[in-house]
A and B are shown apart, each in its own frame.
Chain A
Amino acid sequence: MGKRKGVESSIALADSAAMCRIEAIAAYPITPQTHIVEHLSEWVNDGHLEAEFVPVESEHSAMSAALGMSAVGARTFTATSSQGLALMHEILFIAPAMRLPVVMAVANRSLSGPISIWNDHSDIMTDRDIGWVQIFAENGQECFDLVPACFRVAEDKRVVLPTILNFDGFVVSHMIEPIEFWTQEQFDAYLPPFDPQIKLDVRKPVAMGAVGIPEIYYEARLAQQNALLNAKAVVVEAFAELEKMVGRKYNLVETYKADDADAILYLMGSLSETAMTAVDNLRKQGKKVGLVRPRLWRPFPTEELVAAFGNVPVVGVCDRALAFGHEHHMVAQEIRALFYDAPHRPKLVEFVIGLGGRDVTIGDMEHILNRLLEVKNGAPVGPVEYVGVRK
């Protein structure tokens, strides 16, 4: 095992992207920002990375430039957050339609208004259905490890789709924590050079991004859907190879003490770490609770999730954004849909937590887990609970 280094997760993520030998970076450091593209600019400026660093005038342009650079065959990376992701929205759909395997890191944060720069999942929930492969990192180590995995999946000839690496803004992005770096040789062994099947080349002209008349559009969209669904097997492979390389086992869906649990809490992103401590505390009191967390979010790991929940009688779901106008928020909707066809349908208890950077404590998580056990013991499920909100 390599030596762990104390480093900010964003910096480590940028180092990881650089060590993937990225060739093109589109950068528009909108507020709120992380240190990712700033740190990559140092890699390029110091002559340690031969990449085209393109500072653009908006996030809309950042994604447009990223697509152009990917189309000529460059391994392309960018990073954004919150309002920046929202401003990219129109172009985000073009990348998978044109089968351009851009990789983007998204430090998940709230959307305005009120104006906020803090952590929740409002930004990415809004861009759930853009057709990208989407992965959620739990901590700084995963941020570092999963960048090469994202490129490997994105550029695989069986996939060729853009990929987003989600990680929590501030509570992961700005956290100094221990991260074990790979060597450059490990990166090179894990990630072969980008070898696009089709690219823009003046010597061999092709048209990309053509109009989709009604006789074509439908088939093109369905082909894209199938490509994304089929990416799951490639993600499994990429994680297996990652384990061979650095010894860390990554599953599509992670569980924590879920096997014998009376109640399981489902959450996305880094809150699972705080929740693990709460699970440990409750287990010491003899309370059988566990966790399930998706690492892969799109394509949605339906079978793996059904298996992870097993026959548990009560499932709790944490949403970190609101589906305005619907009484069940986005993550809860997904998990409700998951159980409709499942052989076993548990009671489902819904929570919203940590909106706009509201701090989430171990105590909050213990409260949620205890509430699940109350439902197990016959208490009514009740409507969604807004944990930590002032009344």
Chain B
Amino acid sequence: MLEFRFHGRGGQGSVTSAELLAVTAISDNKFAQAFPSFGPERRGAPVQAFARISDTPIRNRSKVYRPNVVLVLDYSLVSMVNVAAGLAEDGLLVVSTSNSEEQVRRETKWNGRLAMVDGIRIAMTHIKRPINNTVMLGALIKASGCVNMSQMEEAVKERFGKIAAVNLNALKEAFETVHICEGVKHG
């Protein structure tokens, strides 16, 4: 089973990211869950969402405490919360940032596998708004292969209707431009 945690801000689409991931996995005949960190929805406030993907039925409705993958949609959260908390040593951190690997590692204190994508720039280019949820999924799929890209494209088409095309372009650019850094060995 793979477990995912999403860090973002209310209104940015973290919950939608988790949903699209689960819907895509289920359409590929896997078992999956997605759910928000339940609470009053406040635009701009830090929010979390969770997902699980498994080959067998998932019998667990608790939050995710030991994720295999963490996605950070809003880089400003890195200074506020320990985004790598509980992340498995062989896990993956996917960050929306234009910063250098060195800076991201210093600020997240994460030495494992890291995927960096300039999410806001890609979102502004295609969607014209700083909503980078589909961008992050493109980066995630390239870095982890956890779901099938063509099935994700189908899920995005179904979900976004009229604005599907720009989201697909954002998804694809992120898939192509994500910068993947292998883990740093401890001295």
Contact = CB atoms under 8 A, between A and B. Distances in A.
Contacts of A45: none
A271 B60 CA distance: 8
B38 A4 contact: no
22 contacts: A4-B29, A6-B19, A6-B23, A6-B26, A6-B34, A117-B38, A117-B40, A118-B38, A119-B38, A172-B61, A174-B36, A174-B38, A176-B18, A176-B33, A176-B34, A271-B61, A274-B60, A274-B61, A274-B62, A276-B59, A360-B62, A361-B65
A357 B18 CA distance: 21
Nearest to B34: A176
Contacts, number: 70
Contacts of B19: 6, 8, 176
Given A4-B26, A274-B59, A359-B63, A175 B38 contact: no
Given A4-B26, A6-B25, A277 B60 contact: yes
Interface string A249-290: 000000000000000000000110110110000000000000
Interface of A: 4-8, 117-119, 168, 170-172, 174-178, 270-271, 273-274, 276-277, 357, 359-362
Interface of B: 18-19, 22-27, 29, 31-36, 38-40, 58-63, 65
Given A172-B61, A176-B33, A277-B59, 14 more contacts: A4-B29, A5-B26, A6-B25, A7-B23, A175-B61, A176-B22, A176-B23, A176-B35, A271-B61, A273-B60, A273-B61, A359-B62, A360-B61, A362-B62
A178 B62 contact: no
Nearest to B27: A6
Nearest to B62: A361
Instruction: Identify whether the interface residues of A are mostly helix, strand, loop, or mixed.
Output: mixed
Given A118-B38, A273-B60, A277-B60, A178 B31 contact: yes
Contacts of B25: 6
A175 B34 contact: yes
